[in-house]
Chains A and B, each alone.
Chain A
């Protein structure tokens, strides 16, 4: 573990060698205290045997944070932690996330959520978050696709606030059609691009001669047929 050096230079005239040590060790102590508190918080939710926060722990965390389990903010938190597997939080992941948020208590964590939201919604971050959401939802080792049901839920959570009409329409289509039982990562990302680039609901600038995933071609065809 490495601690970032605190910036801010003390007055060079008044510093003596031992003062520097004292100063650094003071900031070290503060830092160590922060980490300790983060670890203590971890322990309140973790399973002692596995040293992981598991489903029940997560449920408790959600209720303590007064946030629904399906709330997008939990997903954002997972993203911030760079969590690998849905339903589990390792100690490293916990430390990573809470340190970045500078939250060593439940209240601080709760208060950090709105800022986290804003951070994620920044265009530079959101695409990464969107991609993360898919990968995070994969449960098996070699799994590369997500079933339609999970896709629909995930879309609502992740894009529901920004692109409600598109998400509603697409999920309706996905549930109605029979051809696709799962979606791939490429198709998932394709939908995000679709929301960003294609004017909805007129779809005037959609060109199926381009490399849009076939599922989106079919989706657009379905909408156009409905409108006629």
Chain B
């Protein structure tokens, strides 16, 4: 045949030729001895189709060839493929199916190459499915449709066998499932509807049965181990033969059956549930619990609740322990924060460390657990112990760390760490302003009586407090520390002044610390009758101070002063370090040998409380500088006192302490007063900006504004509102007495 002149190929004739090629292909697929297609064979077959399609009508056989193409598959499938599949079952059937599908794909590939010309023009012109699609559709409609449910069941059965521990042919399953995917021809519908749905249902049923047994027999940790293992295996399964899109759905089913359904029973198992694990510090099991429960919806909530309950219980137990220990104390030591309370704070810190570690390690730093920890601590940290509020306990704890000779003996690093933790605990205490006041009082004592162990630590904790609570919290305290620094400078200037003015010299070494009133706690100043020697000192300093500033008024607080005084006792002269009050009392004995209580009180011009305290320290305590008549253990207004010339001690220099007055009541009073002002200011501020506001709203905003420092009592706020109404800051709305108006 020449190029320009083609002989028309008749349909039957052409088809007969094609049929030979098709048969050859089938033989190859069946495994019969058949030589491979040569390129010539291929060309011939292709050209035959080409010609038959490009012939002039009525010999253009495109439509017929298209139909015959499809019929070739149908015929092969119906006569050969289906029968061979139908006679096999289970795994054998699966293998056959895989083989047949593989063959089919080859057949489609080859035939579509032969018939390729149809793809180029015919199908597009008639909007018909492409050859590839036709081929695959045949398999789908004839083989897949008939067999898919059998196949599915066989696969699921194998999966279940594998779950029970048997070895199965994973590659086979992969191939089978690939059919489900490929038969979708781009869509996952077949896979999802015809296989996956049933597989998921079966999986759910499988694990439901298992879980029902396990929950009864196994402890919580063991159950969790099994659950974790199952999830691991299922994931593994997906990677080996299921389609990747099945993974989330599969895991969700498993998690649901193993965990969601039995969540409560699991967590609340009597001896091995969440409570027990926390109690027995089983961190690994708890980590596992977190991992598992974080996967199910709202799974972590019950866990965090149990965690919260547990921590609260532990904390409350510490409080009770401390209370019990405190009630065993002697009655006269009741008001003093003692060792037990120190131990209590230590234990609370340790508790916090422990469970913070849990939150970080077991519970992966999750906010739910941070919240649970916070709420738990807020519950018991606001309980006082033995009449002392938690605010006071914390402040005393800090004092013990920061003062010289405190009960805590720690390295610098340990101190820093501890202070850091204390400040963290402060976040849980609602009465922060009360803490601030106690802290301030104790800071004042440390600074003024030179009891501060380390300046750096003092500044360090103030920085930490500032970071946590804001600048306003620490501004006064910082002022106090600064005052001390300035005081030292000032003292240098004073000494210069004295050396330049020898006449002014009072003859006694004098050190004065000038305090800025606003920063320091308020101290009452009593008109102590100073001994003559000291009066001159005061005058000299006053003159000096006038040279520095004329606009400031000095108020002398003798109750805070210390004095080094020489006692000329018969055995030896000794240096006594006492307070100014005590010194004033002792110096009276320079003029008289024997004085009565009332004489001392009159000459000193102090109150009974002060006189009793100071005389006690000089005559009934460790060092008996004065002899008391009668020699009882307490001071009474009828006592007489004499200088004890026989007094001595092995040291040359002794400190005679004057125990401080208990400040607790005053601190609480002061804080209450400040709170009233704070609430007033807050209410006015809010009303000024809102002009008109409902009662509930006002209370809410007030609580929020003040929350950083303390939790205002609902009744207290109401009281302040009423007070502000009486003072004409606010009025009730005429029509609605639940609403307030700001009165400018």
* Residues of chain A whose beta carbon lies under 8 Å from any beta carbon of chain B: 144-145, 184-187, 189-190, 193, 209-211, 213-214, 217
Contact = CB atoms under 8 A, between A and B. Distances in A.
Contacts of A210: 695-696, 738
A211 B715 contact: no
Contacts, number: 34
Contacts of B715: 214, 217
A142 to B, nearest CB: 12
A184 B718 contact: no
Interface stretch (B394-402, B646-654, B719-727): B719-727
A52 B722 CA distance: 37
A150 B189 CA distance: 89
A208 B719 CA distance: 13
B725 A184 contact: yes
A193 B725 contact: no
B738 A184 contact: no
Interface bin, chain B: 10 to 19
Interface string B689-732: 00000011000000000000000000100110110011000001
A186 B732 contact: yes
Given A214-B718, A217-B715, A184 B737 contact: no
A211 B725 contact: no
A217 B696 CA distance: 15
B726 A190 contact: no
A214 B696 contact: no
Given A184-B725, A209-B696, A214 B732 contact: no
Interface centre among A184, A189, A214, A217 (most CB of B within 10 A): A214
B726 A214 contact: no
A193 B722 contact: no
A211 B719 CA distance: 10
B739 to A, nearest CB: 8
A91 B696 CA distance: 48
B737 A211 contact: yes
B25 to A, nearest CB: 88
19 contacts: A145-B726, A184-B726, A185-B726, A186-B725, A187-B722, A190-B737, A209-B696, A210-B738, A211-B721, A211-B732, A211-B737, A211-B739, A211-B740, A213-B718, A213-B722, A214-B715, A214-B719, A217-B715, A217-B718
A192 to B, nearest CB: 10
Contacts of A187: 722
Contacts of B740: 211
A186 B719 contact: no
A210 B738 CA distance: 7
A189 B734 CA distance: 11
B730 to A, nearest CB: 10
Contacts of A186: 722, 725-726, 732
Nearest to B730: A186
Q: How would you classify the secondary structure of chain B's contact residues: helix, strand, loop or mixed?
A: helix
B687 to A, nearest CB: 13
Q: Across chains A and B, which 5 residue pairs bring their CB atoms closest together, nearest first? A: A211-B695, A211-B738, A186-B725, A184-B726, A214-B718
Contacts of A209: 696
A10 to B, nearest CB: 45
Contacts of A144: 726
Contacts of A185: 726
A209 B703 CA distance: 14
Given A186-B722, A186-B726, A210-B696, 12 more contacts: A145-B726, A184-B722, A186-B725, A211-B695, A211-B721, A211-B739, A211-B740, A213-B718, A213-B722, A214-B715, A214-B719, A217-B718
Interface centre among A186, A189, A190, A217 (most CB of B within 10 A): A186
Contacts of A214: 715, 718-719, 722
A187 B732 CA distance: 11
Contacts of B695: 210-211
A19 to B, nearest CB: 50
B327 to A, nearest CB: 30
B729 to A, nearest CB: 12
Contacts of A211: 695, 718, 721, 732, 737-740
A5 B719 CA distance: 52
A214 B732 CA distance: 15
A184 B725 CA distance: 9
A189 B737 CA distance: 10
A193 to B, nearest CB: 6
A152 to B, nearest CB: 20
Interface in B549-582: none
A85 B623 CA distance: 71
A191 to B, nearest CB: 12
Nearest to A187: B722
B692 to A, nearest CB: 13
Nearest to A197: B737
Contacts of A145: 726
Contacts of A193: 737
